[in-house]
Structure 1
Amino acid sequence: MLLRITMGVSLLETLLLVGVLLAWADRVAGGRVLAAFLAAFGLWVVGNELPNWWGPSSETLALHLLATAPLTSAVFFHFCVVFCRAPLDRRWIGAGYALGAVAVVASQVLLPARFLDHPDIGRLAVAQPAAIIPSASWVILGTAGVAVLIHALMRRRREEGGPARAQVAAVTASCLWGLICIGGYAIALLDWPIYPFPLLALPLYPLMLVYGILRYGVFVANAWAGRALVWTLLLAVGVAIVGLMPLLLPFESRWLNGLAVAAGCLALNGPVRRFVQRLIYPGGEVSAQDIAAWRVELARSDSFDTLSATASQLLTARVGVPTRVWIDDTDIDTDTDTDASSRTRATPSPGPSTRLSSAAESENAASAARVPSPSWQTFESAPPPHPAQEQQPELRLHRHHGLWTSTWTGWEAAPPGPRQAAELFASALIDAARDVAQAQAAAIRERERQVQARLAELGALAATVAHDIRNPLNIIGMAVAMAPADTRQEVGTQVARIAHLASDLLDYAKPWKLQPGRFDLTALARTLARREPGVRLSPAWPDTLWVERLDPRRLEQALVNLIENARGASAEGCVIDIDIDASHVHLHVCDNGSGVPQDLRDRLFEPFASRSSGGTGLGLAIVARVAQAHQGRVALTDRAPWRTCFSLELPR
């Protein structure tokens, strides 16, 4: 009877695990193939137990079910190849299925087994001589699958390590466990005078196989495993108490037995739960040495990219589940004005641990970074999502009014041990993020100081040069007053050009103070299109677009410089296009000219980097300074079907 119950439990839990795997198929490499293997394993259990459940009349059907064993081994081999990402050609998988299919067909025809009575097992399937073909095939395929696992385990020991290696080790260990369990049938077939006790451990095989994979990617699986283990241990405690009560009491009392069981389970509930948490998540307790080691590792990061990558590795190693760390260093402060704001669009950067980073920093980032770190922010209390929709655990750091805070997603099912470790880790990470922000803000301030110093020197030089140039220009203009008309025209053109250069030089070098106001950006663009020849607006422009944080005079100056640059490159003129999102306006001035030479692209917005015909070499540099003053940016972009596009990004 005990063996019948054991096999029934194995079948039931196998079917349940098939459903779990199908729900989490996107979280496990080869998850659907593993579900198919477990379903085939369930058929094998049914084939062995059907005569014991329904009697001799079902033996023929049971033999047909057992004859599918070679195909089960083929599915197992397929799963091992996919799960381990083995460098095998797909033809090997096809060959495995072909071998399994041939063996299954032969077994279905020959039915090379029969059932005999066994005192412990009941009706036992015994192989006949014709079983050599299916037996050899499933042994070959099973051995091939285990060889793939062992090869992957050794390769990861040399190259990768971490959870991936632990998963492969768990699958390999579960296969060995399954082999030991099936050894119970060998005891019966060899007619040894002992009970086939290994079969009693068979229900653990599918549990070990599935949990060994899921525990490194799905927190809920660990929570379920923890609850199941707690109840199992408490049940064992209750059974032990019931067994010991007759030795402790001279009489039998159900009430006392029940009371003793309840008291024992209540008293041991806490210790058992803590033991299970340590067993499932070893290292849940965090020591001062752990925190100090975290701080040392995190302090080596000099940017938010490297900090997020290091934090992901440390937190993943600590909690045993792949965890992503996102750091958003954009200070969300709706009360600051444009000149003090450093908000830009947050875009994910590439890498193993993507962070959210701002595209620009301002001077007040240093003062924001000096604000003390807030206390730990608790895990989100949203109800656990459906298993198929559970997210990978993530830790997000972001700034709000200069304060660093933490939020969590995908941690709803995390037990207290990993939560506590993650909380303490987040505190260390916040300190490291604040240090990185301070270092970056200091570097920005130093660069800004150097820029301002250079501009001050250039401004003084430009004022002197402009003053010394304008007087000789006036003399030259008067000296040619009596010259022929063509001479006066040529001299006048060159004098105007020199005067324009002096004016641009003064404008670029002197300190700026924006005067933002509320105006219709569409109306400004239409005015430029009417005034400047060869300029047209794209259909993307709205009828009206009111903006409040832009200086209309400086914006017009930047657009005119871009238009003149495009008009000098293409006789067809240019088009002004626009994109609008929630926080920014993107203006694009595009033309079909000859394009920008590759050697100029990296220094295109530096003074005198490019000198178009009739230009001063400061037009694009002034555009870049206008964008920077508005906490925006300008860039050379690709925008089909145009050959050249300059994109100006400004805050709304």
Structure 2
Amino acid sequence: MLSLLFEIAMLVSSVCGFFVAAWLMWRAQKQGDLQALAGFATMMAIWCLGHVLLLQGYHLAGVLVVLANPLMPTFFLHFALCFVNSEPVQNRFLDRLRDVLPWLYVISGFVVLESWWRGGGDVISTADLDAFFVFTDAGILNLAYTVLIGVAAHSILLFGWYRHQGNKKRSILAMFGVGAWGLLLATSFVFPSFGMNWFPYPMLLLPSYLLLLVYGVVRYQILSVNAFANRALLWLAMMLVVFCLIAVISVVSGQVGLQALANVPSWQLWLYSLLLLVMTAVIYQPLNRLISRLIYPGAMLNEQVLENWSSHLKEAQDWPALIAIGERLLSAQIRRNVQINMPFSDDIAVKTDLAIRLSHDQNGWRFILIGWEDASPGMRLTAEVFASLYANSCGLLDRSLALAAAERKRLDEQHLVELGGLSAAVAHELRNPLNIIAMASHDSPPETRQHIQTQLNRADRLVSDMLVYSGGLTLQRSPTPLRALITSVLAQSSLENIHYDIQVDDALELDADPQRLQQVFINLIDNATAFLRNQADSRLCIEATLEAESLIIQIHNNGPEIDKTLQGGALFQPFVTKRAGGSGLGLAIVRRIIDAHGGRIFHRVDTGWPVTFEIVLPNKQTQEEKQEQQNAE
């Protein structure tokens, strides 16, 4: 019986070795380490087959095959070198050792030939085995060389474990654990060679060594291996549970009156149970698919479909493209038109019977199925799986767009800094030729001199605005009475024939830079007076009110309405103006100063005045009072 078990174990190990080698060669794709590991699996399969040949009576062939075992650690050494000597670890000694690998194969072949020639192996009978391999005195070199190459291979792995990080370090650690297991299993192989006539029980588990070794190597490289290992462990656990149950049944069946069952040999019960478990494993997937089609008719979901969905959704570069791809994929899968609604969609009305509505909150993206109540269970399952995958794609695209926007903002800011430096340099350089032109025009006729002076003043104003706009903006904050500041600006402005009204409380005070804020009112009032000066019944009104934590300042005038093409954000862009002789930088400077104060500026058309500019600034006094009240509570 033990002889039969040993032969089955060796045969299973051989078959597993050939299958693993073929699978590794298929997945290797010119990877030197996996190709070498496939060679190791092949040699181990041949070595196990040699023991089967011995038990079948082919003693000479079996001995010759087993004596070829030095090639097995040589392939493993080859694998260790390729696996360890890769990025980011590159070692000169390992490079040189890799260069002499062909010679190591030659030496291993020579050791095998020497063992064959001198009769390095023999066959003996033990108490439990009719034929078992033992080394003769002439085979000691074969055994010693095999052990030496194995030690060298594991030394290289130890070096790799010390130098590598991440998954490679984990793989090497797993290989060491499996190596200890393999050493334990192989120890009994050499017992008879040293006169210990024991049955090699550990070798019955030899099939597990190769599988665990390969799994430890590729589990971090080929994800499909982990799915296979998960299923294999599940069936192994079920097998152990069945064996335990059979053992319990064999013991208690006679005591409960089931004498016929108690008389059945335990090994037959185990064999029948094992066959039943194998049959269950074979028919599980077909039955699972059949039942899924019965419960969820129309749902044809598998790994290929999910992979196809995922790959196509990743192609989307913006939200419209993602919506279009999502609708096309799901509609094609269920053969019904489906609409996908996003939070920012212009038209969120459901245009089809079936829809998926996406929403976003602090916990991520969520979905709601709309109109799927009457859909078949298969269609609904397909929609739920797709919507879950689609929500994940929304999160990925959202982060991708945010990163792209941040990068564009950084580049824009860098470009503005460079442009600001260039503008400042140009503005400074323009001052010199302007001064030369002013001095050269001193002796020209009065009319010509006046015309030149007007244009020089215009150019000087443009240069000054460019310097203000392009220069670094630092604030020197201090308590600033608002009404007094506005009054001083109006006193310096040309307000002939313009009626003005200041509706600002004397007690209003701002924490602001008075010089910068004065520039804001100068620009806004100058813009207004430029259009009001030649208009009858011209009026200008400045009012300020407190609301919540903000101070709202409105500058009204009854001049001509601003062109609709300029309303909105374009009005505050540089070099945008309808004012004759204007630089186009006045409002851009205003917005920049207000932004620096943490405020906002708008153009409004709903106040009853033709033109209104509204400034909203944070009110530090109100915030401090609120904080004091909270502290008191």
TM-score range, shorter-chain basis?
0.3 to 0.5
Q: TM-score, normalised by structure 2?
A: 0.45
* Bigger fraction of residues in helix: 2
Q: Which has the higher contact order (CA 8 A, sep 6+)?
A: 1
Q: TM-score, normalised by structure 1?
A: 0.44
Q: Which has the larger radius of gyration?
A: 2
